Structure formats: C-alpha cells, structure tokens
Chains A and B, each alone.
Chain A
C-alpha cells in the first residue's frame, strides 16, 4: 500500500483547495435551493413597485392600496439618480407617480396625465402593470358613466380588479416527485465536481507522474499493475468521498429525509458525471501540465461547460449555435437529464436512459484516450530506456 499512502499524503496538501470549492458550493446552493420551493399551486408574477402619491386624496390612496395588494411594495428615495439606479439593478421594477389633481381629473372623466411611470427594463410584467392601471381607470370611468359617484366608482373598480380569476394548477409530470429545490441543488453540481476533481486530483496524479518519482517507483519492487490499482484506489476513495459528502449534505439540508423516487435517478446522474469528471482529470494529467496551465484548464473547462451547457443560464435561454456546440460536451447531457427530472421537460424513461448513456459514453471515451496516451508514452519510452541500457553495457 506504499503508493496508496503516498497518494493520500500528497492529496492531504490539496484537500484544502477541494474543501474551499465544496464549502462555497454548499453555502451558495443551500439558500438558493431553500428559496425555490416545489410548485404545488399557480403563483402570479409579482412585481416590486414603488408608488409616490402626489395627490394624497382618498381616490389616490385607493389606487395605491390596490397596487400594493397585487404587487410587492418597495420604498426608495425620490431622486432621479436613485430611481435610475434602483430600476436598473431591479431593486424595484416599476415606479408610479400619482400626479397632483388625479382625483379631480378622474371625477371629470379625463384620463390624460393622471399617472406618470418610470421603468428601465422592458420585462413583460411591466406591460402587465400598465394594463392593470388601464383596466382600473377604465372601470372607474365606466362606473361613473353608470351613475355612481366617484368614491363609489373607485370602490367598485377596486373590487372588480381585485376579483381574482380562478386558476387551476395541474402538474402532468406525475413521474416526477423531484422538487425544484433539489433540482436547483443538482443543477450546479457539474461546475463543482469538475473544479474539485481537477484542482485536487490532478496535482496528486501529476506529482506521482513526475519523472523522478515515476522512475524511482518503476525501479522498485512494486508491480506496475499493483501501482495502477493503488493509484486507482486512491482516486476512487477521494472522488467517492467528495460525491458522498455532497449527496449527504443534499439529503440533510435540502430534502430533510432520504432521497426517494426519481431523486435516485438524479443521484445516479450525478454519480455518472462524477465518473466523467474523474476521467477528464485523468486525461488532463496524462499531458502532465504545469500548475499554471492546470489552473487555466480547470477554469476553462468548469466555467466553459457551465456557461455553454445550461448550468449557469438555462438551456432554453441559450442560442441555437451555443447549444449545437454544447451537445459535444458531457455537461449538456447532465443538464438535459436533470431538467427532465425536475419537471422542466416531460418525463420519458427511454430518453433519460439515452442521456445517461451518452454521459457515460463520454467517460468511457476519455478513459480509452487516457489509456492510449499512456500506452504510447510507455512504448516510446521503452526504446529510450533500452538504448540507454545498451550504451551503459557497451561502456562496461
């Protein structure tokens, strides 16, 4: 077990890097997953709205109350610069000013210049707010036209607008009891697995493959197969420990109980991706990169896959060209499977099996390439060793 012990000794020096990645992942993922609860009913889109009431009459206050009953109230400073900043950074989505003379104009049946609004982003929810205001004002005017006095018209319009349409929420994805919270936790996993495995495992494998260490090991009494097995065992212990730790954290903090139903498929999906990340690390190590090059490779692979495969930005928001490219990356298929499991796509067991198999295929191909590279390197090293030995013999 000499090699295994050496492996663990070198790994201990890199464990801090791995721990930082895992702790950051857990610290970010848990609050995010906790915030996104499983949808069991229809929830209307609520905007963050700021109302400044310059009229300050019962009618304007009724409008303010109606808006705040439907949207979230946000108070900000009334200053153009502060408003711009708040709207741009989405502290608030919509600023409404009820102009002076609002109630008088409303009583006279005038609609122009009643309200002034400010918004920066043209989200569709902003258009909805405009429509809500139009609907409210036209309802007040209609009730006034029907003979109601202004206060009665305002009250009736408020009631009419507040009367919610019945919305039935039906989840057709019966196969999936995989909550969005757990889905969110699993969706960021590829980024962290790639980062942890490459940044912690690769330096260990590179150290073991250093010319001095490798030559010394080669000339020792340890059989090559035993050496390979011990390195493999060390790698397996490390990646399994990382994966198990992440799974246990998910069970304790996200789920609150043991995984069940389709959640086990997500666990399987993550296990396969763990194999992919390990195979990737082994492939990179076979090129024995320097520490600087390894750092940049880690960043390129982890961030690259996260941005192009739908980990940081949903696949539905990515361009067709990006997605076509991403199909050649394993994280794309991981995300596809995870999206299906958390109900973003209709559940289809044969499709899911396909996604998992493609992922696994990536791992197999990378392992084969790694073996090929090792074989080629070994074969090319042999004649060099032979020629050196024959030189020495000739000298003697």
Chain B
C-alpha cells in the first residue's frame, strides 16, 4: 500500500503544471538572465582602464611631465595625458573625452565633471605627487644637504604592506546570485510540501476527503506523500544545479557532488517547511499558498537573492539568524565550498538543514495526527 501511494504521489506531482513552471522553467529563465547580466560584471568592475587625462600648465612643473612620462611607459599605464591649454582641456572634459583636468604648478588642482573611482585615482595620484614634492621643497628650505637621503627615502620601493590571501576560491561576488537561485528553488519546494497536507485534509481538496474515508492508515499515506515530494523536489534540485553547472558554466570546481548534496537537502528542508505550513489549522488552500510563497521569498531576500550582500550584514548583526534561515543555509553551504578549504562549515550548515527539516516534519506530523474528517 505504501508503494502504491508513493507511485501515485510521484505521478500526480509530475503532472502538476505549477511544479514544472516554478521549479524547472522559472529557475532556468532567471539563471540565464543572471548569467547575461552578471557574467562579466565582476571582471569589468575590477579591471581598470588607462585614465585619459588633460594636463594644463605643464610648463610650470617640468618634473611632473617626467613623472607622467615614466608612468605612460609602463605595460598597463595608470593614465594617459594630453598637454593642452585650459579652454581645450575643459572642452574635452565636457565631451567626456578625458576624465579630469590636472592643473600643474605649485598649487596643483584637479577639475572633474563626475564622481567615481577614476576621479578618485587621479586625486590620489596628484596628492601623492604633491606630498613628495612638498617634502623635497621643505628639505631644500631647511637643510639642503639632506636632499639626497630624503629623495632616496621617497623614491625607495617601500613595500610595508604584505597582503595575505584568505581564500583560493572564486572571488566573483556575483556567483552568490547563482547559489541563491538554487536556494530559491529549494524554498519553492514548500509548495510541493504543501500539497501533502492539502491532499490529506478533507476540507481543502476532494482528494483529502477521499483519503479521509479510505481505510489506508493516515501515517502511511502521509509518509508516502512526504517521501514522494522529497524525491520530486530532489529531481528538480538536480536539474537546477546541472543547468547552472553545465549550461551556465558556473564554476563549482571539484565540489559539484557536494553542491548536489546541499541542494537536495535544501529541497528536503523546503518540502518539510511546506508540509508544516500546510498542516497548520483549517485555513484555505490559497492562504496557505500565500504564506508559503511569502515566507519563501522573505527567506530568499534575507539570503541575498535580491541584494547580494544582505547576508553578510545579517551575519555581522544577528549571526544566529543565518543558521535559522533555510535559504541562507543552502546558499551558505555552497558558498563555503567555494571560500574555505575545509568542509567543516559546509557540514555544519547541512546539519542545521537536517535539524530544521526534522523539526518541521515532526511539528507537521503532530498537527495532522488524529485529525479526522469530523475535526474539520
């Protein structure tokens, strides 16, 4: 009887159009758009092109020209300068042909028409030149005999700062959106889970009414429903991960099997959540669907589906919350595979997922226990 129920649970799940649309087609569409929009975004944001600059009054400071020429000879020069009079320089700035206009001389200044990283780079460049020039002038005025030592100290290739890498993984921050997409599909599993409770509740569906009258033990049909939904959700999760890995070419490194495991467990958590919501009270089906959808989207929002770095902010302010949010757990577990070398954090997140699923299923079973037709 259990296998019979399980078979029909699987059969009816596969015929549900909503399931195919929201658990298979929609993630594929959204993932494709993520790839189109975020595919090269990180590279573009971290790559700096040579900044086109106009310099006015270079005759006032020949040393500045020497410094610029040295920079221009580098393989990837920071800036490319044009030496112009003020009128032409400002015209080029207005047309967007140059990022800024540097006024060379004793009081160096910069004119820009926008605020951004390129403008900040120019300001820091002038700042550093002015600082060094100021120190040399000061030394010339106070003790010219020390000029050689001072110039040597200024020009020395000082490297006081040693940068230590924290991760060997992919640092492309936008890959988080793919992890959150997987988390979203897992959370949509709550709709699948909801159908178990709805299908068992006589006041919500004709199927529930028939099941209530049938001689099959309730525990058996509920268990078949839960396992059937878990299996269907697992298939959806496998399709989603495979699509991101093989079609969208998301780089999971050697961790792909672990990603599948996290996604399937996430799906199980989503189904369990839906089963619990479906088991609460005697609300209408539409109300339960609304609770599931809103709850899922809220979890996904707080996990970073709409705003990538919200999860980091929550981790700093309310660290416990990310271990209670099922969507954050799914995304975090996959993210930890990318960021950290060991799997300790990954398995901790998986344990939390198992714990949450167990709590939802237990509560759901308690709520549906001995609920007969007459109780509704």
Known: A89-B315, A141-B158. A295 touches B33 (CB 8 A): no
Which of A135, A137, A146, A318 is within 8 Å of B128, CB to CB?
A135
Is B115 a contact of A91 with CB atoms below 8 Å? no
**CB-based contact A44/B120 at 8 Å:** yes
Q: How far is the CB of B316 from chain A (nearest CB, A)?
A: 5
Q: Given the interface contacts A91-B309, A165-B126, does A160 sit within 8 Å of B120 by beta carbon?
A: no
Contact A116 B162 (CB under 8 A): yes
A147 to B131, CA, bound (A): 18
Q: Which residues of A contact B26 (CB under 8 A)?
A: 296, 299
Check A90 against B166 for contact (C-beta < 8 Å): no
* Closest residue on chain B to residue A346 by CB atoms: B96
Flag whether A292 is at the interface (Cβ < 8 A): yes
Query: In whole angstroms, how far apart are the Cα atoms of A173 and B181 in the complex?
Result: 40
Chain A residues 233-268 with CB under 8 Å of chain B are none
Given A89-B309, A143-B135, are A117 and B316 neighbors across the interface (CB < 8 Å)?
no
User: Does A225 sit within 8 A of B, measured CB to CB?
Assistant: no
A69 at the interface (CB under 8 A from B): no
Chain B residues with CB below 8 A from A227, complex form: none
Q: Nearest B residue to A84 by beta-carbon distance?
A: B166
Kindly list chain A residues whose C-beta atoms are within 8 Å of the C-beta of B120: 44-45, 125, 128
- Quick check: is B214 within 8 A (CB to CB) of the other chain? no
Q: Which of B120-138 contact A (CB under 8 A)?
A: 120-121, 123-124, 126-128, 130-132, 134-135, 138
Q: State in angstroms the CA–CA spacing of A303 and B26 once bound together.
A: 11
**C-alpha gap A7/B368 in the complex (Å):** 42
B36 at the binding interface (Cβ < 8 Å): yes
**In the complex the two chains form, what is the Cα distance from A114 to B158 in whole Å?**
11
Q: B351 in the interface, Cβ–Cβ < 8 Å?
A: no
B167 touches A120 (CB 8 A): yes
Interface segment among A75-83, A327-335, A371-379, A388-396: the answer is A75-83
Bound complex: CA A118 to CA B38 (Å): 25
Kindly list chain B residues whose C-beta atoms are within 8 Å of the C-beta of A322: 36-37
Do A81 and B345 touch across chains, with their CB atoms under 8 A apart? yes
Q: Is B95 an interface residue (CB 8 A)?
A: yes
Contacts of A130 in B (CB 8 A): 161, 163
Q: Name the contact of B111 in the complex, choosing from A120, A160, A170, A300 (C-beta under 8 A).
A: A170
**Chain B 286-314 near chain A by CB (<8 Å), digits 1 or 0:** 00000000000000000000001101110
In the complex the two chains form, is A117's CB within 8 Å of B164's CB? yes
Whether B46 lies near A165 (C-beta < 8 A) is no
Q: Closest Cβ of chain B: how far from A182's Cβ, in Å?
A: 17
B-binding segment of A202-210, A214-222, A271-279, A307-315: A307-315
A85–B135 contact, CB under 8 A? no
Of B41, B131, B142, B156, the residue contacting A163 (CB under 8 A) is: B131
A42-B115, A141-B158, A168-B112 known; A303 vs B143 contact (CB < 8 Å): no
Distance (Å) between the CB of B153 and the closest chain A CB? 4
Beta-carbon nearest neighbor of B155 in chain A = A138
Give residues of chain B (28-76) contacting chain A, Cβ–Cβ below 8 Å: 29-30, 33-34, 36-41, 44-46, 48
Say if the beta carbon of B160 comes within 8 Å of chain A. yes
Q: In the complex, what residues of A have CB within 8 A of residue B121's CB?
A: 124, 128
A232 located at the interface, meaning its Cβ lies under 8 Å from any Cβ of chain B in the complex: no
Number of A residues near B (Cβ < 8 Å) is: 81
**Which chain B residues lie closer than 8 Å to A169 at the CB level?**
111-113, 115
State the CA gap A49–B29 with chains docked (Å).
38
B209 within 8 A of A: no
Q: Are B33 and A304 in contact (CB under 8 A)?
A: yes
CA distance A160 to B316 in the complex (A): 35
> Which residues of chain B have C-beta atoms less than 8 A from A132's C-beta?
124
Interface status of A122 (Cβ within 8 A of chain B): yes
Within 8 A of B (CB), among A136-189: 137-139, 141-147, 160-161, 163-172
A13 to chain B, nearest CB (A): 12
Closest A-chain residue to B167, C-beta based? A84
Complex contacts, B110 vs chain A, CB 8 Å: 165-168
- Compute how far the CA of A233 lies from the CA of B207 in the bound complex, rounded to whole angstroms: 43
Report whether B171 and A134 are in contact in the complex, using a CB–CB cutoff of 8 Å.
Answer: no
Query: Contacts A160-B135, A307-B36 hold; do A112 and B160 have CB atoms under 8 A apart?
Result: yes
Do the beta carbons of A131 and B124 come within 8 Å of each other?
yes
User: For the complex, is A115 an interface residue (Cβ under 8 Å from B)?
Assistant: yes
Q: Are B161 and A134 in contact (CB under 8 A)?
A: yes
B315 contacts A142, CB within 8 Å? no
Q: How far is the CA of A122 from the CA of B165 in the complex (A)?
A: 11
Q: Distance in Å from the Cβ of B100 to the closest Cβ of chain A?
A: 9
CA distance A4 to B129 in the complex (A): 73
A88–B313 Cα distance when bound, in Å, is 11
- The answer, among B107, B134, B173, for a CB contact under 8 Å with A166, is B107
User: How far is B30's CA from A203's CA once the two chains are assembled, in angstroms?
Assistant: 23
A113: which B residues are within 8 A, CB to CB? 162
B88-104 contacts to A (CB < 8 Å): 90, 93-96
Q: When chains A and B are docked, how far (Å) is the Cα of A135 from the Cα of B132? A: 8
Given known contacts A44-B123, A116-B162, A118-B164, A88 and B173 CB-to-CB distance under 8 angstroms:
yes
- Chain B residue at minimal CB-CB distance from A95: B166
Q: From residue A206, how far is it (CB to closest CB) to chain B in Å?
A: 17
Decide: A168 near B339, CB < 8 A? Known: A42-B119, A89-B312.
no
| Pairwise interchain contact A303-B161, C-beta atoms closer than 8 A | no
Minimum-distance CB pairs A-B, first 8: A89-B312, A114-B160, A307-B33, A172-B94, A166-B109, A145-B149, A307-B37, A45-B120
8 A–B contact pairs at CB < 8 A?
A: A84-B339, A114-B160, A115-B160, A122-B171, A139-B135, A167-B112, A292-B18, A300-B29
Known: A304-B29, A318-B36. 10 other contacts (CB 8 A): A44-B123, A84-B167, A90-B312, A112-B160, A117-B164, A133-B161, A166-B110, A170-B113, A313-B37, A313-B41
Which A residues form the contact surface with B (CB < 8 A)? 39, 42-45, 76, 80-81, 83-91, 96, 109, 111-125, 127-128, 130-135, 137-139, 141-147, 160-161, 163-172, 292, 295-296, 299-300, 303-304, 306-308, 312-313, 317-319, 322, 346
